[in-house]
């Protein structure tokens, strides 16, 4: 081969011409998979220690490899490492540099493994670390939401169905509904971590290796629960990446719903809450504007994450066993999903505890719209009227209120008795907003005492996870 033909490929022995320069760039992944460098080095160190334990490497060779890999790690962390597209990916870049540093011994590191099980190991390690970071941010958001809810167990706001005023609820109760969504997200994230935490290292290309390896040893060294069971599946499985993206799509869907409410609530038409200025931006032309850009952007990023889930599902849907080059396309959507989720959670965890509710506006909105109509119907039922008849009576009272511009609580007793004579003065106890909230004093209800108890349970659960 001429120098131009020799592209220094670690697999180049079989080839008689150099890889086309465009194809090199087209097939290379080093620009994005170099973010797994620390995981790749950790996997190589575990693999080398195992090879020494089974007699494939001598103690001196192991020491050379360990020292060389530590130097490579320092170069990468220090920013002096020279990444090469010609070497395709993070694995070959690190191995080539190791061989430059320690000579022929570096070429022994790849004994008993393939890039197929190497990348499968790296991506699991990288995602596991990302999941642990994301779990911290998710917990921080949950605690911030719960603490805000506890402070506003008595703050009245309208509850909505169809975006129409339905019944009064506590603002804290509404916030704890957000937390319930986030708690399910935590469960899905924990399940994903549990299923991915198996080591594919030692599966080699697809069929295992003829060397007397100890897969349990490398699995334990890397913090996996156990090795994977089947070598074919080990190198081709990307379920864990899809499962993470499914978690992410649901989480972002929940954050998007929360964002939509915040966008509505901060509008002049609602004016229920105020966001701190540091989470908003202004207009280049309209001086009065304060735009809720963080919730709006999170709402927009939901479509991006949903798209990544579909990309991975489509990527895997027609692949035969075992590894195929298609799988190089798993990393960019996965990595972007990791970054997007982490950033969105950080923004929300910082913002939500600092939401300032405008309590008077919330209360006034709850007072309008006949939000205690159901309470009046329940009152009539307790007076012996069948619910469907009570429903009709209250409907007529509401129609009268609409015509006269009066809420139910603003009508005098004589007017209410005109709709049903058995109504007595104690009716006004159930027509107040506080009375409506307090009446729903059961598990899952919006009574302030229940909201405070629910917040305490939720806080204890999140804090128990450390």
Residues tagged active-site: 162, 283
- State in Å, rounded, how far the first CA of the chain is from the last one: 59
Q: Give every CB contact of residue 192 below 8 A, 6+ residues apart in sequence.
A: 131, 240, 243, 244, 247
| Residues found in the chain | 466
User: How far apart (Å, rounded) are the C-alpha atoms in residues 120 and 238?
Assistant: 8
Our CA angle for 48, 53, 58, nearest 5°, is 70
């Amino acid at each position: 081969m001429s120098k131009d033909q020799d592209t220094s490929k670690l697999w180049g022995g079989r080839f008689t011409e150099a890889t086309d320069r465009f194809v090199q760039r087209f097939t290379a992944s080093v620009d994005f998979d170099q973010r797994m460098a620390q995981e790749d080095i950790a996997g190589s160190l575990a693999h080398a220690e195992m090879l020494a334990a089974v007699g494939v490497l001598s103690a001196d060779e192991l020491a050379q490899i360990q020292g060389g890999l530590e130097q490579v790690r320092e170069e990468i962390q220090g920013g002096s490492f020279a990444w090469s597209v010609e070497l395709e990916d993070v694995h070959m870049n690190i191995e080539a540099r190791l061989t430059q540093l320690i000579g022929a011994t570096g070429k022994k590191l790849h004994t008993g493994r393939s890039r197929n099980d190497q990348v499968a190991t790296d991506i699991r390690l990288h995602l596991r670390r990302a999941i642990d970071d994301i779990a911290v941010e998710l917990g921080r958001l949950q605690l911030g939401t719960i603490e805000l809810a506890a402070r506003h167990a008595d703050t009245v706001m309208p509850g909505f169905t169809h975006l129409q005023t339905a019944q009064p609820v506590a603002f804290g109760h509404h916030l704890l509904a957000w937390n319930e969504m986030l708690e399910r997200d935590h469960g899905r994230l924990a399940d994903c971590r549990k299923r991915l935490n198996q080591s594919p290292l030692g599966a080699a290309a697809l069929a295992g290796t003829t060397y007397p390896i100890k897969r349990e040893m490398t699995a334990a060294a890397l913090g996996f629960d156990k090795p994977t069971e089947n070598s074919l599946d080990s190198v081709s499985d990307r379920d864990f990446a899809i499962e993470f993206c499914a978690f992410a799509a649901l989480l972002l869907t929940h954050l998007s719903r929360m964002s939509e409410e915040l966008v509505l609530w901060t509008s002049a038409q609602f004016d229920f809450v105020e966001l701190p200025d540091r989470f908003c931006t202004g207009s280049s032309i309209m001086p009065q504007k304060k735009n809720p850009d963080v919730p709006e952007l999170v709402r927009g990023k939901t479509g991006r994450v949903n798209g990544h889930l579909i990309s991975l599902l489509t990527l895997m849907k027609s692949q035969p066993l075992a590894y195929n080059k298609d799988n190089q396309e798993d990393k960019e959507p996965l990595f972007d999903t990791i970054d997007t989720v982490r950033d969105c959670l950080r923004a929300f965890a910082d913002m939500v505890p600092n939401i300032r509710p405008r309590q008077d506006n919330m209360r006034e909105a709850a007072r309008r719209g006949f939000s205690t109509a159901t309470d009046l119907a329940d009152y009539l039922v307790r007076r012996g009227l069948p619910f469907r008849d009570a429903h009709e009576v209250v409907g007529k009272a509401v129609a009268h209120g609409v015509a006269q511009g009066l809420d139910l609580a603003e009508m005098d007793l004589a007017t209410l008795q005109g709709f049903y004579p058995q109504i007595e003065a104690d009716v006004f106890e159930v027509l107040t907003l506080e009375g409506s909230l307090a009446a729903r004093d059961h598990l899952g209800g919006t009574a302030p005492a229940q909201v405070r108890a629910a917040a305490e349970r939720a806080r204890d659960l999140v804090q128990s996870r450390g």
